[in-house]
Amino acid sequence: MKMPNSQKPLCLTVLLLGFSAPALVLAEPWPDPAPPTVAEVPADTVAPVAGEFDRLKFHAAPKPLPEGAVTEDWPRFLGPNDDGTTGETKLLKKFPEGGPKVVWEMEKGTGYTSAIIADGRLVFFDRIDDEERIDCLDPETGQRFWSFAYPVEYRDRYGFNNGPRASAVLNAGKVYTLGVTSMLTCLDLKTGTKLWQRDLDAEFDVAPYFFGHGSCPIVYDGKVIVNLGGAGDLCVAAFDQHSGKLVWGTKHVWKSSYASPVVKTLRGEPRLLVFAGGESDPPVGGLLCIDPATGVLHDAYPWRADKYESVNGSTPVVVGENHVYVSDCYEKGGVMLELSEDLKWQEVWKAPEFGIHFTTPLVKDGFLYGFRGRNEPDAWLACFDAATGKEKWREDPEWSIEIPGGREYRLRYFRGNLLQADGRTWALGELGTLAMFNLSPDGFESVDRTQLFLARATWSLPVLHHGLLYVSQHELNNLDGTPPRLICYDLRAEE
């Protein structure tokens, strides 16, 4: 049963008042309403051995990892650096005839998540029938170590699918997921044992969402940090990653967005950046700068379109030492902010034409690259100078493919995702096109392109791990009728 807002206690909330030397004012402490019971993994528990299961189809083993190849784990949906970049090397220079070889594929349920990989385990979060499900797989074979599921009741009121929006997070041998109805779960990575679970909506009266809870949590310094949007203006909450107990809360009127929080070093210290702003009337939101250790709010910069149906969905990116770019696709576009020495946001420049919907722009050598646009028809790839806000170029390639029946289908990248690895940019278009780009402020070069499948809503960033690429196909493949799948492709270069 939900408590009335007037009776809802929240955790310690702190506000900074003033300007040059702000005084710390502590609000009345709000205790944790329902600390979870924590389970232990018995000492004699044997980790399960990976095995085949009915939704898996294995095609062929990948090529050996090239000698000297650099590899990295991918513990969160934006990768090891929370910005769509990885240090992986020795990847394909061109696609083979027919595209990269499929290693394995798994029929998936509903949802808009990416695979997450660390410590030799791949974790995928989706919904099958009336359960949200967490599968732990072998990254190279797709065989399953374990599966965990719990019931969920959610139907998207706008007709999108009903599965989770937020990818899993792996940290310190544990799996963390935040479901579409705000169910926060912690599992043991090796065994799949449930360690603790919290129904954040029931406990904190989370504000309604247009499309369900969709902001990925972040695990930092022993805390699971969630853009919550709870009652009493509990905007952001941190939970102890091992016990699940509420550690601190940040009070602000902005509700949870679809952009994920990140922790980056600004002004020489770690800063939690939360681009908040979901369903609210009037529509409000913007960029929060928070101390990740205490939840102290340093500053809040309003940046949200004046439209009820708008949301903030593109994760903030840090440029240089003290600058952050945030973006709204509905009317406002993007803005570059600088965090001043007194920890206040200062506007540097605006870019009304560089509003990104839900993907994350790529920062490369002092320039921003991204697919701007609210809808498919008004999307294109652009480059902006991060220092001045000047547009350097825009490109919108178009081509044709043949579809069943012998008809031509005109394609573009639309609102694509960008991933930087091995000295080039990998682009995944929202209908299933995979491409290699060379991007520079001087122009755009398409190195190669292949059509993996033809399926709408290919919105999740692809994942690169040990030379293998993992792509989430969220809808039916219109080329051959294959259902939604998680697909592993071999991108390893020849020896």
Q: What's the pLDDT tens digit per position in 466-479?
A: 999 999 999 999 99
> What is the distance between the alpha carbons of residues 403 and 405, in angstroms, rounded to a whole number?
6
When pLDDT is cut at 50, 70 and 90, the band that residue 452 belongs to is: very high
Question: Is the pLDDT confidence value at 487 over 90?
Answer: yes
Compute the average pLDDT of residues 410-426.
98
Question: Is the pLDDT confidence value at 7 over 60?
Answer: no
Question: Is the pLDDT confidence value at 30 over 80?
Answer: no
When pLDDT is cut at 50, 70 and 90, the band that residue 208 belongs to is: confident
Question: Is the pLDDT confidence value at 218 over 50?
Answer: yes
Q: What's the pLDDT tens digit per position in 151-175?
A: 999 998 888 999 999 999 999 999 9
Q: What's the pLDDT tens digit per position in 309-345?
A: 899 999 999 999 999 999 999 989 999 999 999 999 9
- Can you give the pLDDT at residue 447? 98
- Can you give the pLDDT at residue 44? 93
- Can you give the pLDDT at residue 317? 98
Whose tokens are 């190669």? That residue is: 448
- C-alpha 243 chain-centroid distance: 24
- Can you give the pLDDT at residue 191? 98
Per-position DSSP letters for 29-67, written without gaps between them = P---S-PPPPP---TTPPPPPPB--TTEEE--PPPPPPT
When pLDDT is cut at 50, 70 and 90, the band that residue 355 belongs to is: very high
Question: Is the pLDDT confidence value at 259 over 60?
Answer: yes
Compute the average pLDDT of residues 8-23.
35
Q: What's the pLDDT tens digit per position in 91-132?
A: 999 999 999 999 999 999 999 999 999 999 999 999 999 999
Phi (first) and psi of residue 12, to 5 degrees: -55, 125
Compute the average pLDDT of residues 5-23.
36
Closest CA to 137 of 119, 149, 151, 152: 119
Residue 409: CB partners within 8 Å, gap ≥ 6? 400, 401, 402, 403, 454
Neighbours of 424 (CB within 10 A): 17
When pLDDT is cut at 50, 70 and 90, the band that residue 2 belongs to is: very low
Rounded to two decimals, what is the model's pTM? 0.94
Compute the average pLDDT of residues 135-140.
98
Neighbours of 320 (CB within 10 A): 12
> What is the distance between the alpha carbons of residues 316 and 215, in angstroms, rounded to a whole number?
12
Counting DSSP H helices and E strands in the chain, the numbers are 1, 37
- Can you give the pLDDT at residue 331? 86
- Can you give the pLDDT at residue 158? 83
Question: Is the pLDDT confidence value at 24 over 60?
Answer: no
When pLDDT is cut at 50, 70 and 90, the band that residue 29 belongs to is: low
Asked if 371 and 395 count as a contact pair (C-beta separation under 8 A), the reply is: no
- Can you give the pLDDT at residue 12? 36
State percent of the chain over pLDDT 70.
Answer: 94
